[in-house]
Structure 1
Amino acid sequence: MSTSRIIQLAQKISAQAAVLDSHLQSNGLPQPSFNEDGPTEAFKEGTPDVQQAKSDVLEAMIELRQLIEGPMNNLLPPNNLSPLVAVYRFKLASLVPVGSTISFRDLAEKSGVREHDVKRIVRYTAVYHRVFHEPKKGFVAHTAASKLLAENPAASHLMGLTFDECWPAHNRAVDAIAQGSEEPNVSGYALANNTSLNTFQFFSENPTRAERFAAAMATTSTASLEALSTHFAWSELSPNSTVVDLGGSRGHVSIYLAQKFAHLRFVVQDLPEVVKGAADTLPEDVQGRIEFSAHDMFTNQPTQGADVYLLRYVLHDWPDKYCIDVLRKLIPSLKAGAKVVIQDHLLPEPGTMTLRQEMNMRNMDAIMLSLFNSREREVEEWEELFNTADSRFGGFTANRIGEHGSSGVISVEWTP
C-alpha cells in the first residue's frame, strides 16, 4: 500500500522541522514563540540546508492544509482583514504597555474606539494573526507580532502600504480589468481613490502618502543591488564610461555602483521634485562622479552618447505601450554599442519555482495590476518589448538571479 500524499507531507514537515530544531539548539538560539519576547525571525540566519528546511516545512504545511480543508475553502478563504486594519489605523499596538497589560476599557478610552469594538478586534487578531493575547479575561498583552508593530517603524510602514494603498486597490482591480484599458490611470488604485490620475501623479499631489510609500519601499533588501553589480559586466566598461540611471530617485543605486566601480560616472535622472537637493547628500567618496538631472522619461533622452542606460524596477510599473515609449525615447541619444540594462522581475513558467516563490511572484504581478494597471513579465515578453520598440535593439540577454530567482538583469545593445 503506497503512502498517501497527506502522510508524505506530514513526514516531510516532521523531518525538516527536526533540522530546524537541531539548528536552533546547536547554536543556542531561541525557539520560535508567540510570546512577547519571542524572536521576530527565528531562522533569519542559517546554512542553505536550514533555509531549505524552512521552505520545505512552510510549503508542505500550505499543501497539507489545502488538502485537508478541501476545495471549497480554496474558493472561500477567510479574508476579513478589517480587524487587522483597525489595529494599524487606531495604533492599538502602541497603546498596549510592553511587559504589562491594559484593560479593554482603558484601551478603548485611549484609542477612542468603543469598548466592544476593541474587544472583538483584539480577540479576532489574536486567533487569526497572533496579534495580542488575553492573559486574563478583559486584559490585553503583547505577543511578538504586536510588540513588533509597536516598536518597529518598518512594520507600520509596510502595514500602511498594504492596508491604505494596496488593499483598497485590490478591491477595485476587477472593475478596472472590465474596462479593458492599457492606461495607467484605469487601475484599481485610481478607482479606489476616485481619481483620474495615475498612481505616481496621485502621489505627487498627496505627499504624505508618497512618503509612506517610499518608506515602505526602503525596507527592501540590498541583496538585489549586489545582484545588479554581479550580473552585468560593469568592470568591463571603459574608464569614465557614463551610466544614466533613469528613474533613479535619490541615487541610491548609482551610489552603490559608483562605490564598487570607481572608473564609472553616473547621471541620475528623475522628476524635478525627486532629485531636488539630492546632490547635497552624496557620500564624499562618489562626489564628482554622480550628477543629478531632472528628466521625464516619457520625453526624449537629454544625455547623449552614454555607455549604459539603466532602468531598475521601473518598467514593471507601466503598461506595455508606455514601456515601449520609454525605450523609443532613448533612441535619438543612443550611440552604436550603447547598452540598455534593466533589472526587474522575471515571471517563471508555471511549476518551475518552489511553491512559495511562485506564490510571491504571482502576488507581485497582481499588485502591479491593482496599483498601476501594469504587470510583471516573462523573459519572452521582455524581449518582445524591445523588438516592438525597435529591431535595432539587439543581443538580448536575460540573466536570472539565482537558479530559481524571481528577478534578473536584462541587457540589449544598440546596433544601428
Structure 2
Amino acid sequence: MTSTLRSLLSIIQKSIDDIETVFEKRGVAFPSIDEPPSDSDAIRLEATVQAATALLTSAVHQLLANVQPPQAYILNNLFGYYMPSALRAVMETNVVEILREAGPQGMHVKEIAKRAQVDPTKLSSILCYLATHHIFREIEPDVYVNNRLSSVWDTGKSLSEIQESPLTKFDGTNGIAAVIGHCADESYKGAGQITEHIMAPDTAFEDSPERSPMMLAVGYDKGSMWTWFEEPSNEMRLRRFGIAMNGVNSIQPPGAIIKGFDWASLPAGSVIVDVGGGIGVSAISIVRAFDHLKCIVQDQSMFVKLGREHCRKTFPEALSSGRIVYHEHDFFEPQPQTSATVFLLKQITHDWSDRYVLRIIRRLREAATPTTTLILIDTIITHPCPSHPSDIPGANIPPPPWPLVANLGVANASTHFANLTMFTHFNAQERTLMHIVELLASTGWNVTRVHRSTESEGFLPQIIAVPMPVLKT
C-alpha cells in the first residue's frame, strides 16, 4: 500500500499540474509572490484552479503535520499569535503605503520607521518576522519592498492623505486592511479570554452576547459588541468594522452573492429585504447586476447612516431612484415588510446563539407570503471525519482523496476561524447544515437547496428555504 507521505506527495504533484495547466492555457505563467498584482490573479478564481488549490493546501499542511516532530509542530502553531500582532502593527503604521511610494528599489527600515514615526529596531523585528513568512520581501539586510501578499491590504492612498485623515483611512478600499485591523484588535483581545470564559462558573454556560469573551476582554458591561461600538471612543472601530465586512466579501469570488440563487428569474419589481444588511454591500451587488429588482436594507441606525453614505459614494443612482432604500429595524421585532419576494439573511444567524436565532427566523416566517424565499448565508461547519449524506440538493461535498481529512483540513480553516470568532464576539457560533436545517424547520421553514461557492467549501454558502404550509387545526 502506498505510504501516507507518498499519497500526499501525489496529491500535491497532481494539484500543481492542474493549476499550471490552466495558466498555460491562458498563455501566462503562475505568478510569483514577488511579482506585483496583475490580471492573471483572476485565473486563480476559476473553478479548476480553486479545486486544485484546496487539495494542494490541505495536502501540504497535512504533510507538515506528519513530518514535523510533534513538539515542533505544536510550538510553531502556538507562537502563531505573533502573526496578527505583526500584521496589525504594519497596517496601522502604513508600511505598505510607504513602500509603495518608495518603489521597486525598496526602503531601509530606518527610513520606513522615520516616516511611520516608530522605533526602527522594533519595526525591523516585525518586518523580519513577516518576511520570513513571505509577507514583504527583504532584498538587502533591513531593506524591504512590497510583494503580492503585502500589497493585498494597500489602501491605495498616499501616506500624507492617511495621516491627514486617519478616520477615513479605510473608506473606499477593498476592506482587507480593515479586516486586519478588526481581527487583530477586538477579535484578538477577545480570543485571549476564551479559556477564562469557558472555565469561570458565571460564564461557562452563558449564551448572551453581553457576556462574551470579547466583552470580558474590553471590560465592557453595558451591553453587547454592538452597544460597545456605539461608544464615542469607538467611532473609528465602528467605521472599520463596517468596511471590514466588505473586506470579507472580497475574500469570496467577485459577485458571489449573485451566483447560486437564480435572481434573474424573479419577476420585475420583486423586493429583496436584506435583514441586518449592514451598509448594503450585498444589496448593491444584487441591484447592480439585476436592474429589475429592488432592495430594502434593514439594520440599526448606525449602520443605516453608514450605509446611505456608502451607497451614495459607490452606487448613487440606486439610492436616488429608490432601487435601494435603507430602513431602521430590529429583527427581533415583527417584520414590517409583509410582501417580500426574498428575505436575505447574510451573516446574521452566526452572530446569535440558538434562542436568539429562533426569534429572528420566526419573525420572518410570520411575515412571509406562501411564495417568499429565505436565503440564509452563513458558514457551514463540516467535520474532519466523514458525515452521513444529506438528501438536500447541493448539501454534500465530494469526499477528498485519501489520506486527506474529510473537510480538507486547513484548506477550510476559515470556517473554523469564523466559528471561534462568533463565539468570541457574541457567545454564538457557525453551525453544521443539520443544525441549521433543524432551526429553520422548527420555525416553519423548509430547506430546499444549498449553493456552495465551490463544491468543497463551507464558507458562506447560500441556504435556500421556503415556508412550510401552515397546517389547519
TM range (shorter): 0.7 to 0.9
* Contact 2:260/2:451, CA 8 A, preserved across alignment: no
AA aligned to 1:397 is T
1:270 aligned onto 2:270: no
Structure 2 gap segments, 5+ residues each: 157-172, 386-405
AA aligned to 1:292 is Y
Greater mean deviation of Cα atoms: 393-402 or 291-300: 393-402
Partner in structure 1 of residue 166 of structure 2 = none
**CA-atom RMSD, angstroms?**
3.3
AA aligned to 1:267 is I
Residues 27-84 of structure 1 deviation map (CA, whole Å, 9 limit, x = unaligned) = 442443343x344796540654444333333222111111111333343323122333
* Contact 2:375/2:462, CA 8 A, preserved across alignment: no
Partner in structure 1 of residue 60 of structure 2 = 61
Which residue, out of 392, 409, 413, partners 1:359? 413
Structure with greater Cα Rg: 1
Q: For the structure 1 residues 255 and 55, does the alpha-carbon distance in structure 2 shift closer, same or farther, using more than 3 Å as the test?
A: closer
1:203 aligned onto 2:235: no
Q: For the structure 1 residues 150 and 397, does the alpha-carbon distance in structure 2 shift closer, same or farther, using more than 3 Å as the test?
A: closer
Q: Which has the higher contact order (CA 8 A, sep 6+)?
A: 2
AA aligned to 2:143 is F
Q: For the structure 1 residues 308 and 414, does the alpha-carbon distance in structure 2 shift closer, same or farther, using more than 3 Å as the test?
A: farther
AA aligned to 2:72 is N
* Contact 1:40/1:148, CA 8 A, preserved across alignment: no
Partner in structure 1 of residue 161 of structure 2 = none
Which residue, out of 208, 218, 226, partners 1:193? 218
Distance of 2:143 and 2:411 partners within structure 1: 39
Partner in structure 1 of residue 382 of structure 2 = 348
Distance of 2:107 and 2:340 partners within structure 1: 61
Distance of 1:167 and 1:366 partners within structure 2: 11
Normalising by the residue count of structure 2, what TM-score does the alignment of the two structures yield? 0.74
How many residue pairs align between the two structures? Answer: 407
Partner in structure 2 of residue 395 of structure 1 = 446
Distance of 1:110 and 1:293 partners within structure 2: 43
Q: CA deviation at 1:314?
A: 1.3
Which residue, out of 108, 123, 139, partners 2:143? 139
Q: CA deviation at 1:131?
A: 2.2
* Contact 1:225/1:256, CA 8 A, preserved across alignment: yes
Distance of 2:294 and 2:382 partners within structure 1: 34
* Contact 2:131/2:138, CA 8 A, preserved across alignment: yes
> Which one has a larger percent strand, Structure 1 or Structure 2?
1
AA aligned to 2:409 is L
Structure 1 gap segments, 5+ residues each: none
Distance of 1:301 and 1:91 partners within structure 2: 43
Alignment of 1:240-255 (within 5 A): 242-255=271-284
AA aligned to 1:373 is N
Distance of 2:426 and 2:219 partners within structure 1: 14
* Contact 2:130/2:136, CA 8 A, preserved across alignment: yes
Q: For the structure 1 residues 195 and 108, does the alpha-carbon distance in structure 2 shift closer, same or farther, using more than 3 Å as the test?
A: same
Secondary structure of 1:218's partner?
helix
Alignment of 1:75-114 (within 5 A): 75-76=74-75, 77=77, 78-79=79-80, 80-81=82-83, 82-96=85-99, 97-114=102-119
Q: For the structure 1 residues 116 and 270, does the alpha-carbon distance in structure 2 shift closer, same or farther, using more than 3 Å as the test?
A: closer
Distance of 1:142 and 1:260 partners within structure 2: 34
Distance of 2:16 and 2:340 partners within structure 1: 52
Normalising by the residue count of structure 1, what TM-score does the alignment of the two structures yield? 0.83
AA aligned to 1:45 is I
1:382 aligned onto 2:436: yes
1:226 aligned onto 2:225: no
